Amino acid sequence: MNKLTLLFAFFSTSVFSASAQEVKIDSNYANSHYLQRMEFFSKMPHRKNEIVFLGNSITEHGEWQELIPDKPVINRGIGGDNTFGLLARVDEIVAAKPKTIFLLIGINDLARKLPYEVILKNYRRIISKIRTGSPRTTLYIQSILPLNSSMTKAPYLEGRNPMQIELNKRLKELCREEGLTYIDLHPLFEDENQELKKELSIDGIHLKASAYIMWVNYLKKMKYL
């Protein structure tokens, strides 16, 4: 191998290494809140024909049991959770052989700038775990909610509204491929600019308590509940 070939090989390796370092996958999820919620879940008895609301803080903040008092509803939301964290804990959900799962996860992945391909791969793994462990469970994939850019002050959420729109397009296609029902929540919560309605939010990302009433009423209207 001559000097020119060696130089080219070294340069190519350096460029590849630099490119590889550009995309860093932040898969962390096991913070103190996550661990506390997991401890709580592990000590709660399962119920027959559970209806599980599964996701991050958007789900955790919902008073699902009060909104749907006549059914065995449980809340399995964890604030700050992402698809990596949900993938790590979905076995606990599946073990109960729930009747229905309403899944909503992904905005915290976008906040970490995780590639769509990584998020969708985790979704596929979550779907596979549910189907394998509890094949009779009905799984609904709910759209990522819009954000309101004028209300969100956190730097990590800047520019994320167009990203959730794109992720939702890909989730809808994923549902088509997997034969799952995709629940589009945007008609409920978005304004004319495709952003979260100010009157429904406390900070541009999280919903006011009353907004969950609209959410549940919509699920009932569409016969998902």
Instruction: Judge whether 127 and 180 are in contact, CB under 8 Å.
Output: yes
Position 159 scores a pLDDT of: 80
Closest CA to 97 of 116, 119, 72, 117: 72
Over the stretch 3-41, which tens digit does the pLDDT of each residue have?
433 333 333 333 333 333 455 787 788 899 999 999 999
pLDDT of residue 23: 59
Q: Are strands 181-183 and 73-77 parallel, antiparallel or unpaired?
A: unpaired
Q: Please name the amino acid found at residue 32.
A: S
Choice among 87-91, 126-130, 159-163 with the minimum mean pLDDT = 159-163
Whether 58 is covered by a domain: the verdict is: yes
Find residue 76's DSSP bridge partners: 54
Residue 198 has what DSSP assignment?
Answer: G
pLDDT of residue 140: 98
Q: Is 213 within the bounds of a domain?
A: yes
d(CA 101, CA 153): 32
Q: Does 169 map to a domain?
A: yes
Q: Which residues pair with 140 in a beta bridge?
A: 102, 181
Q: Is residue 15 part of a domain?
A: no
Q: What total number of domains does the chain contain?
A: 1
pLDDT at position 108 over 80: yes
- Tell me, yes or no, whether 144 lies in a domain: yes
Who has greater pLDDT, 20 or 112?
112
Domain span at 158: 27-221
Strand 138-142 versus strand 51-55 pairing type: unpaired
User: 6-15, 57-66, 107-116, 180-189: lowest mean pLDDT where?
Assistant: 6-15
Residue 94 domain-assigned (yes or no): yes
Report whether 110 contacts 164 (CB < 8 A).
yes
Within a domain: residue 160? yes
- Mean pLDDT in residue range 152-180: 91
pLDDT value at residue 20? 38
pLDDT over threshold 90, residue 178: yes
CA proximity to 87, closest of 33, 140, 129: 129
Residues 6+ apart with CB under 8 A from 140: 100, 101, 102, 103, 180, 181, 182, 183, 224
Residue-wise pLDDT tens digits, 48-98? 999 999 999 999 999 999 999 999 999 999 999 999 999 999 999 999 999
Residue 151 main-chain phi, psi, to 5 deg: -105, -25
Q: Strand order of the sheet with strand 73-77?
A: 73-77, 51-55, 100-104, 138-142, 181-183
Q: What is the CATH number of the domain that holds 99?
A: 3.40.50.1110
Residue 209 domain-assigned?
yes
